[in-house]
Amino acid sequence: MSVSSNAPTVAIVGATGAVGQEFLRLFEERNFIHGDLHLLASARSAGTTTEYRGEQHTITELTEEALEGIDIALFSAGGSISKAYGPTAAAAGATVIDNSSAFRMASEVPLVIPEINGDLAESYRTGDGRGRPGIIANPNCSTIIMMVPLHEVRRRFGIERLVISTYQAVSGAGAAAMRELDAQTRDVLEGREPTREIFARQCAFNVFSHDSKVHSETGRNVEEQKMIDETRKIWCDDHIRVTATCIRVPVMRAHAESINVTLRQPASEAEFRAALEATEGITLVDDREANDFPTPLEASGRDPILVGRVRPDESMPSEGGKHCAFDLFVCGDQIRKGAALNAVQIAERVMGS
């Protein structure tokens, strides 16, 4: 039992949601040491229970008073809740690790992927492991799944441009969206008209542009703009060129992304692969002979991001076996590394564990 009276008091805001429940599973799997644990959610969920480490824990209503005395607060209840209660928790002394988009682009809030810029989380560390007050933002799931595989590539060769197409699972829209895909699939197979409550379009047996708002002038939706803005902030590079097309697919969990990367310094395929093999947080699944490459199903429930279809982009210039661009295909579990795992890793950096 990894509970200690000397360890930080931890709160999970949005404890009944898909990411909130994943926090609890990760605490168990990673032997996450904490003191008192406060599971907070809406008034509708208050009084219900959830199992954790073999015991039933009661959900408490999220209020300002419920955030008093918290050392580490993991927020995953949506942007409006984060904006309303995140600063309150920080003012009360908590290190807030927020999974929404509410604070990602705020200049004073670090946007952290531990494998890339974990030192920013470590700057919140205190001698007692309880963390200093403030807010740390968790990036968008698509941004995380794209950036982790490319970090060592960028360190060795630099990156000039990224072209990304995403194939995003319904888990990105939460537990209700996952239930809707399940229900729609049954409806279609049994000849009924599928109900649509979460997505405007039928998700089962369909593919459609990501359901975030589209800017009338740029033509980019919110998800695509997040990938551009967050990449530049995390890598501290306002000049990197990024373009994305984000698509929703009828997959339960784990996002897939097709990535074309243009390097600043050309590399051989062997050098490019060596950089990937040295990258923390990924697993190469790239067997051309067996046609074995990453799939969302295989990535589901796993911590590493799966990387495959690695190949030079021969439509771009090359010379002497050195290529300036490469293609790859990646799959990562949106609920784990794309959300809950990244936040827990940040908490571990803050606590020094």
Concatenated DSSP letters of 10-76: EEEETTTSHHHHHHHHHHHHTT--BSSEEEEE-TTTTT-EEEETTEEEE-EE--TGGGTT-SEEEE-
- Check residue 127 and give its pLDDT: 87
- Check residue 1 and give its pLDDT: 35
> Could you give the angle at which helices 141-157 and 269-277 cross, rounded to 10 degrees?
120
Whether residue 161 is predicted with pLDDT greater than 70 in this model: the reply is yes
- Check residue 47 and give its pLDDT: 95
Q: Are domains 10-139+338-351 and 142-334 of this chain identical in fold? A: no
- What fold is seen in the domain 142-334? Dihydrodipicolinate Reductase; domain 2 (3.30.360)
What span, in angstroms and rounded, lies between the C-alpha atoms of 257 and 307? Answer: 10
- Check residue 216 and give its pLDDT: 95
Over residues 83-96, mean pLDDT: 97
* Residue 347 CB neighbour total at 10 angstroms: 28
Question: Any idea how long the chain is?
Answer: 353
Over residues 200-222, mean pLDDT: 95
Whether residue 261 is predicted with pLDDT greater than 60 in this model: the reply is yes
User: Positive or negative, the Cα torsion across 246, 250, 255, 259?
Assistant: negative
Residue closest to 86 by CA, chosen among 100, 144, 108: 100
| Structural domain spans, the chain | 10-139+338-351, 142-334
CA 175 to chain centre: 15
Q: For 229-259, how does the pLDDT look when each residue is reduced to its tens digit (9 = 90+)?
A: 999 999 999 999 999 999 999 999 999 999 9
Q: For 37-57, how does the pLDDT look when each residue is reduced to its tens digit (9 = 90+)?
A: 999 999 999 999 999 999 999
| Locus of tokens 């494998």 | 115
**Percent of the chain with pLDDT strictly greater than 70:** 99
Active site residue 57: no
- Check residue 183 and give its pLDDT: 97
Residue closest to 156 by CA, chosen among 331, 278, 282, 312: 278
Residue 236 three-state SS:
coil
Q: For 3-41, how does the pLDDT look when each residue is reduced to its tens digit (9 = 90+)?
A: 666 899 999 999 999 899 999 999 999 999 999 999 999
CB-hemisphere CA count at 13 Å for 7?
19
Q: What's the chain's average pLDDT? A: 96
- Check residue 129 and give its pLDDT: 87
Q: Residues of 243-260 as b/e, b for ≥16 C-beta within 10 angstroms?
A: ebbbebbbbebbbbbebb
Over residues 217-232, mean pLDDT: 97
Task: Kindly name the residue from 255, 323, 324, 331 that is annotated as catalytic.
Answer: 255
Whether residue 269 is predicted with pLDDT greater than 50 in this model: the reply is yes
What span, in angstroms and rounded, lies between the C-alpha atoms of 341 and 138? Answer: 10
Are 134 and 260 spatial neighbours (Cβ–Cβ below 8 Å)?
no
Active site residue 255: yes
Please measure the distance between the N-terminal and C-terminal CA atoms of the chain and give it in whole angstroms.
16
Q: What is the pTM of this model?
A: 0.94
Residue 271 three-state SS:
helix
Over residues 79-93, mean pLDDT: 97
Are 241 and 216 spatial neighbours (Cβ–Cβ below 8 Å)?
no
Classify domain 10-139+338-351 by CATH architecture: 3-Layer(aba) Sandwich (3.40)
Over residues 169-194, mean pLDDT: 94
- Check residue 145 and give its pLDDT: 98
| Locus of tokens 């809740």 | 81
How is residue 232 annotated by DSSP?
H
Residue closest to 108 by CA, chosen among 71, 87, 136, 132: 136
What span, in angstroms and rounded, lies between the C-alpha atoms of 301 and 151? Answer: 23
Q: Which residues pair with 279 in a beta bridge?
A: none
- Check residue 5 and give its pLDDT: 66
- Check residue 353 and give its pLDDT: 80
Q: For 127-145, how does the pLDDT look when each residue is reduced to its tens digit (9 = 90+)?
A: 888 999 999 999 999 999 9
- Check residue 3 and give its pLDDT: 62
1 compared with 105, residue with greater pLDDT: 105
**Percent of the chain with pLDDT strictly greater than 90:** 95
Give Cα separations from 192 to 252, 267, 343 (angstroms). 21, 54, 40
What span, in angstroms and rounded, lies between the C-alpha atoms of 157 and 61? Answer: 49
Task: Kindly name the residue from 38, 141, 324, 331 that is annotated as catalytic.
Answer: 141
What span, in angstroms and rounded, lies between the C-alpha atoms of 142 and 119? Answer: 22
What span, in angstroms and rounded, lies between the C-alpha atoms of 330 and 245? Answer: 15
